Structure 1
Amino acid sequence: MKRISLLLMLMLSVLFTAACGNEPGNQNGGQGAEEKAAEESVSVKDALGDEITLESKPEKIVSLIPSNTEILFELGLGEEVVGVTDFDNYPEEAAEKEKIGGMEFNVEKIISLDPDLVLAHESTAVSAKEGLDQLRDAGVAVYVVRDTQQINEVYTIIENIGKLTGTAEDANELIASMKKNLDELKSKAGEIKEKKKVYVEVAPAPDIYSTGNNTFINEMLELINAENAMKDQEGWIAVNQEEVISANPDVIITTYGDHEQVLSRDGWQDVNAVKNEQVYDVNTDLVTRTGPRLVEGVEEIAKSVYPEIFKE
């Protein structure tokens, strides 16, 4: 009898301990929940220096610039994207998303989509400050992506978007793939014996624009062992036609879809690129958007400048 009583007491003790462990206020159970919550929340500093914190992976995302959209889709977040700009044209699925406007976005439309996250861009953060503040006041998390002209910083942008959206592993894989492809292009460029001078035109006559130092295109030309004819100037520049004629580039690349008109310009007939019909066009989106397709842009320029090396 005494033995049965002891056994009964032991069973009750075990049951009591288990019950306490499952109580909401139990220290161990609460600690586990806190640790889980901490793992799900993430904080990332944006281009304005603001710390943006999300408690869980966003289920609805609005993108305010095409480059952000391209990154999101590449990270497998196409389903989560609920709103894009009127300019979003890649991938094709982006065209099916709700449009929230262009340079001036529709705040009411964005709020109606009930997003957990809005990806803005530093290039329009000042002009769009009022609208972004309205979104913040409505309780929407707004992350401002850095404006950059350096490929290395694009990797950081992808990494940060990956962290915010719970796709950090995919982001790291994407970055590794981009670096690998660029390394292969740089390796091929090492075979080049005679460097060519290249003039890149991003806007046609009468208001001609090109790109100088500290731009993606300048970095791309350096990566493929070519010389930018406008390298002595900074950023996106208005060009005097005499400057181009004087520089006498070996190759001319346009980014607006009409390279043929360059061949018939008055006074350009003695420029090497025109004389030898080495004038080509590349897709502007590939060489200007801060996203995964920049590597494709490098390759397109490389094939135009050194076809004998890069078209093999």
Structure 2
Amino acid sequence: MKDPVNDNSKKQRKMTVNQVKVYSTVSIILIGVLLSGIVSLQTSESSLAHANGILIDFEKYDTTWFEYDLNVSHNPISLLDKCCKENNYEYTMEKGVVTEINGVSNNDTHSWGLWYVVKNSTSWSKSDSYDIDMRNYSIVAWAYRDSETTPTVAVDATGVSIYGYPQAMRIVTLSPVATETVGALKATGAIVGMDYYSNYPNSLNKARTEGRIATVGTYTDPSYELIMKQSPDIVIADSTQYNQVQVAKAIRDAGVNSVALYQGEDMDTIYDNTFIVGTAIGYEMTAKNIIAEDGLGAKAVASKVAFTDKKRVMVALSPDSAPYVAGNYTYVNDIINTISAENAFGSMKGWAHANTEMIAQKNADVIIIVTESYKATQAEWDYMYSHLPDAWKLTNAYANKEIYLVTGKAADLASRAAPRFPQLSELLAEIIHPDSFETEVPKYIGDEYRDYLTITKYLSYDN
């Protein structure tokens, strides 16, 4: 390849071709943002109240599910009694109020309450009484909580319960996030189909090449026929894409289980999605372990930079004059806030379109570009830096050459709200606070991103 600085026309052609590759990473985010508002309207009667039984929720992700035919008994007190007997729990009622389950007692801050999710909803509501018909709700739980906290996630993004599914032996995933989450659970051996852009864990690429895993469409256009051809036990969809929600509904109508993941707005949502997949496919304990490991990894990174001065950071999806940038309600924003930094575009919502004037006005100290339009080389970075729009040249980041390219497999990491997010936390922390780390990170980071990780390297979940 010629030096890009001396071959502008070829560079422009290359950037155009690479827009296809961008769709496999960062553009997926944008599609999800535009369509997520539609998804909540799509739940229908055919996709409701899958589970029959009751949940006991001791604390976040520490749950006990008791399956029972609600047509035989739909009284929550009766099912609490049956569940406790089944699991050798003791429970106490005083003056008609549940005060203790399995040694966990009400106190000044926490108490047991009866909660439910209304059909066509994804939100928990607390019941004013115990006299309810459980058949009227998608799921009902006895949960131990304080006044500010709701129970553990128990329905997917379309309001369908995540409990009561049989062990999954054949799984189809419809997005890279879904595939990575199943991979983190070490259940890749059960994947029989996945979308075109799924490429992690690395072992899946070989399996696809050898024909052991089928491609069932793209992120925006999953094929119902190809999915059903794989005879799946369960399909993991992504609710940020309208077509996936519709396919998931059709799959349920055909008698095949499906769950839809939530949009990755923050780290808590990533934890919830991990729990959803783990519970639905029969890997609940593994999911809890991953959530704990990720929490420790993210905390360790945050502690490393806890006492550093905050810098203003911009994360963009291209070096254009008006790029899409990470605003509030994105997992990237959440990560930035935990690593002693300030999101320059934190006042905007989601992956937002920033105009030219805003780039100079926000004046970021560090700019991180997540893109597939460049390779991780010095020549590519030099070309990018020398061709930045005028507004970018008015920033502190430009003046100090604090502009970074994140591309290749590193771009995959940065664009997927999946269990590897602590590695992204460490990578961003190293970029923003280099003096806090022994590892020196270059201005361009690609497939070799793991070489720069020390704290979270073990959280690759590659199998």
| TM-score where L is the length of structure 2 | 0.55
Say whether 1:123 aligns with 2:240: yes
Quick check: 1:198 aligned with 2:313? yes
Match of 1:57 among 144, 147, 167: 167
In structure 2, give the amino acid aligned to 1:106: S
1 CA distance for matches of 2:165 and 2:361? 58
Inter-partner Cα distance in structure 2 for 1:285 and 1:82: 22
Pick closer, same or farther for the CA change 1:228–1:262 going to 2, 3 Å.
farther
Tell me the residue number matched to 2:187.
77
Give the match for residue 284 of structure 1.
411
Kindly, what percent of the aligned residue pairs are identical? Answer: 28
Query: What residue in structure 1 maps to residue 262 of structure 2?
Result: 146
Distance 2:321 2:359 in 1: 14
Residue number in structure 2 paired with 1:309: 436
Q: How many residues matched? A: 271
Q: 2:290 aligns with which of 160, 168, 174?
A: 174
Q: Give the direction of change, closer, same or farther, for the CA distance of 1:263–1:214 in structure 2 (3 Å limit).
A: farther
In the alignment, which residue of structure 2 is the partner of 1:107?
A: 224
For 1:212, the equivalent position in structure 2 comes to: 327
Greater than 6 Å deviation, 4+ residue runs: none
**Distance in structure 1 (CA, Å) of the matches to 2:298 and 2:244:** 34
- The one-letter code matched in structure 2 to 1:253 is I
Is the 1:197–1:226 Cα contact (8 Å) retained in structure 2?
yes
Shift of 1:105: 1.1
Question: SS state of the match for residue 225, structure 1?
Answer: coil
Shift of the 55–303 alpha-carbon distance from structure 1 to 2, 3 Å rule, reads closer
The answer (yes or no) to whether the contact 2:163–2:279 under 8 Å persists in 1 is: no
Relative contact order (C-alpha < 8 Å, sep 6+): which is higher? 2
SS in structure 1 of the partner of residue 240 of structure 2: helix
- RMSD (Å) for aligned C-alpha atoms: 2.2
Partner SS state of residue 317, structure 2 = strand
Q: Could you say which residue in structure 2 is the equivalent of 1:232? A: 347
Higher helix share: 1
Structure 2 spans left out of the alignment, 5+ residues: 1-82, 88-138, 140-153, 375-380, 440-463
Cα distance per residue 1:172-195 (max 9 Å; x no partner): 111111011111111112131x21
Give 3-state SS (helix, strand or coil) of 2:352's partner.
strand
Q: CA separation of 1:234/1:279 partners in 2, compared to 1, >3 Å: closer, same or farther?
A: same
1: distance between equivalents of 2:400 and 2:339? Answer: 21
277-286 or 262-271: which moved more? 262-271
- The 1:249/1:210 distance shift into structure 2, 3 A limit, reads same
- The change in CA–CA distance for 1:232 and 1:53 in structure 2 (over 3 A counts) is closer
- Select 1:247's aligned residue among 362, 375, 381: 362
Deviation at 1:292, TM superposition (A): 1.1
Match of 2:278 among 156, 162, 181: 162
- Deviation by residue 1:9-29 (Cα, 9 ceiling, x = unmatched): xxxxxxxxxxxxxxxxxxxxx
Opposite residue 431 of structure 2, the aligned amino acid is S
* Distance in 1 (alpha carbons) for counterparts of 2:299 and 2:163: 35
Which of 154, 178, 186 lines up with 1:68 in the alignment?
178
State the alpha-carbon separation in 2 of the partners of residues 285 and 272 from structure 1: 27
Q: Relative to structure 1, is the Cα distance of residues 88 and 195 closer, same or farther in structure 2, using a 3 angstrom cutoff?
A: same
Tell me, what secondary structure is at the counterpart of 1:123? coil
- Give the counterpart letter for 2:355 in structure 1: N
- Which residue of 2 is the match for residue 7 of structure 1? none
For residues 216 and 336 of structure 2, the distance between their equivalents in structure 1, rounded to whole angstroms, comes to 35
Give me the whole-angstrom Cα distance separating, in 2, the residues matched to 1:264 and 1:275: 14
The separation in 2 between residues aligned to 1:190 and 1:204, in whole angstroms, is: 30
Residue 172 of structure 2 aligns to a residue whose secondary structure is strand
Change (3 A) 1:276 1:122: same
The 1:162/1:271 distance shift into structure 2, 3 A limit, reads same
CA contact (8 A) 2:311 2:342 kept: yes
Where 2:393 maps in the other structure, the secondary structure is coil
